């Protein structure tokens, strides 16, 4: 019994030292149903060298890959796109032929929208910060990130680093800033365990 107690204590210490939430995200490596869409549209919108797993991670953060997900504000599908935004994307991108209810087109539209945001944040900054700006904008809206960036700059912080946005977003979106920061962090955590 004494040896069992030692092993149990060691295991509990191991669990406390590891980010437990990351263990749960590993299960998404077995959910490959939509991977071909993430790969296809990541390559189409971002080029062959861009890691498609960022977009799968985003979809996990958005809907847990649930094509029937619907938010309280009306966002729909795997990528949680607002119907009006989906229609605008479809108008600009005639290759999107289906509806937002169809996983293929929802993913295509979400990644296409990410691309339009990505192009906005072209100032010189580390890649991981640019990723955070893109996903933060997807969640909070580009305008809110721009406002937080302006506040950061006025406070003498580097406005092109995501940490500066994290510090100042609360002044723009109030308590909703926690959701945006958590969203970006979750995408990075999920991305860290996807294969």
| pLDDT tens per residue, range 6-33 | 555 555 455 455 544 555 889 998 989 9
pLDDT value, residue 25:
86
Q: What is the pTM of this model?
A: 0.86
Structure tokens at 106: 């929802």
Quickly state the pLDDT bin for 4 (edges 50, 70, 90): low
pLDDT value, residue 20:
46
Share of the chain above pLDDT 70, in %: 88
Terminal CA-CA length for the chain: 39
| pLDDT tens per residue, range 34-49 | 999 999 999 999 999 9
| pLDDT tens per residue, range 161-194 | 999 999 999 999 999 999 999 999 999 999 999 9
| pLDDT tens per residue, range 107-162 | 999 999 999 999 999 999 999 999 999 999 999 999 999 999 999 999 999 999 99
* CATH pick for 2-193 out of 1.10.510.10, 1.10.530.10, 3.90.550.10, 3.30.413.10: 1.10.530.10
- Report CA dihedral (90, 94, 97, 103) to the nearest 10 degrees: -50
pLDDT at 1 over 60: no
CA distances to 45, 120, 148, 164 from 66, in Å: 23, 29, 31, 32
């Amino acid at each position: 019994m004494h040896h069992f107690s030692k092993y149990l204590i060691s295991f509990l210490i191991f669990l406390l030292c590891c980010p437990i939430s990351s263990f749960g995200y590993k299960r998404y490596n077995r959910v490959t149903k939509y991977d071909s869409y993430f790969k296809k549209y990541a390559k189409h919108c971002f080029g062959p060298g861009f890691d498609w797993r960022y977009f799968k991670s985003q979809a996990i953060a958005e809907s847990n890959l649930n094509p029937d997900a619907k938010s309280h504000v009306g966002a729909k599908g795997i990528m949680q796109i607002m119907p009006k935004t989906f229609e605008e994307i479809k108008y600009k991108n005639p290759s999107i032929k289906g509806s937002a209810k169809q996983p293929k087109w929802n993913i295509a539209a979400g990644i296409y929208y990410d691309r339009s945001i990505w192009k906005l944040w072209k100032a010189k900054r580390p890649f991981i910060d640019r990723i955070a700006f893109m996903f933060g904008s997807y969640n909070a809206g580009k305008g809110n990130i721009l406002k937080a960036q302006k506040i950061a700059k006025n406070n003498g912080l580097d406005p092109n680093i995501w940490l500066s946005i994290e510090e100042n977003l609360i002044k723009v979106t109030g308590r909703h800033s926690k959701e945006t920061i958590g969203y970006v962090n979750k995408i990075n955590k999920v991305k860290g365990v996807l294969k």
